Amino acid sequence: MKIKLRIKNYGLRMPPNRAASRAEADSSFEIRHSKFAPAFTLVEIAISLAIIGIALVAIIGVLPWGMNAQRDNRERTVINEDATILMEDIRNGARGADDLTNYVYAIAITNAASGGAGYLNPEVSPQMNFPQSVAQNIFPTVNNNWPSTLASGTNIVGLLSTPEYAYGSTNHIYACVRSISGPAVEKPPQDNDIVVGDSFRYEIICENVPVATPDPNSTYGANLTANLHELRLTFLWPILPSGQLPSRPARQTYRALIAGQVATNAVNGLMLYFFQPQSFTNAP
């Protein structure tokens, strides 16, 4: 097939004085320049821009939903990991839990008899409001008896393990916690107030209740009640920068059965409770 191409208007031609061979003659070609070359019209360009604009609007509309889904998944992942850590710390009776002093920054214990008591670590203002779920009914009185409250993991676990039925009334235990898992930049020894204040925080409702038995008056029922407890940790998140929970917080509850007695220990007038998984007793 012979294709002749001649390039005009650009001054590119085969030299006329060159004796082209048979192969060169067969492969010579010509390009004819025309001012009527095909192209898009303004109407076609306008239609294309309209289609692209509609697609971009749809994509931009989906982006916030995707970002919110990613944030929710990240927060639930952090909650799952922290729940495992806190559940094991409480189950083991505070052994090796001193790292909790970096994350648990407020605890409130409320009941009908005493009204309420709040415990804060030194970096929290005594005027801080607890989340709305606590502040709706009472405003806990802050106990500034530092360092006898949240100075150690033992005290923190001892408060979180408080039985729901003690002191002759029903107790409600709340804790405000900065995420234990998550980005390393938010973790100690980070001392930037802005970074610490913007870190992910949540509230925990702790419930330590004896396991119900069909016949609590029997010897078996009494022994089971004394040696088997249900621990429920309900997580509410996120705590907003104002210190309050949103009107409809995310919620997740974790449960575990813990076999063993619950021992008590008084520290500076503060009653602490600890699970003893290896200790069992026969009820009288």
Q: What are the phi and psi torsion angles at 159 (to 5°)?
A: -75, -40
Q: Kindly indicate the confidence band of residue 252, based on its pLDDT and cuts at 50, 70 and 90.
A: very high
> Given the DSSP bridges, would you call strands 250-259 and 228-237 parallel, antiparallel or unpaired?
antiparallel
How does pLDDT run across 124-145, given as a tens digit for each residue?
544 444 554 554 433 344 444 4
For residues 238-257, average pLDDT = 87
Do 274 and 265 meet the contact criterion of CB atoms below 8 Å apart?
Answer: yes
The answer to whether the Cα torsion of 128, 115, 245, 203 is positive or negative is positive
Q: Which residues contact 267 (CB under 8 A, 6 or more apart)?
A: 148, 155, 158
Question: What is the largest distance, in Å, between two alpha-carbon atoms of the chain?
Answer: 124
pLDDT of 152 higher than 90: no
Print the SS3 string covering the chain: CCCCECECCCCECCCCCCCCCHHHHHHCECECCCCCCCCCCHHHHHHHHHHHHHHHHHHHHHHHHHHHHHHHHHHHHHHHHHHHHHHHHHHCCCCCCHHHHHCEEEEEEECCCCCCEEEECCCCCCCCCCCHHHHCCCCCEEECCCCCCCCCHHHHHHHHCCCCEECCEECEEEEEEECCCCCHHHCCCCCCHHHHHCCCEEEEEEEEEECCCCCCCCHHHHHHHHHEEEEEEEEEECCCCCCCCCCCCEEEEEEEEEECEEEEEEECCEEEEEEECCCCCCCC
pLDDT of residue 120: 60
**Token digits of residue 155:** 């005290």
- From residue 196, how far is each of 53, 187, 199 by CA, in Å? 41, 8, 5
pLDDT of residue 44: 87
How does pLDDT run across 58-111, given as a tens digit for each residue?
888 888 888 888 989 999 999 999 999 999 999 888 676 888 988 988 888 877
How does pLDDT run across 19-57, given as a tens digit for each residue?
555 545 545 545 555 556 677 788 888 898 989 988 888
Residue with tokens 């909650």: 79
How does pLDDT run across 187-239, given as a tens digit for each residue?
888 888 788 878 899 989 999 998 877 777 788 888 887 888 999 999 999 98
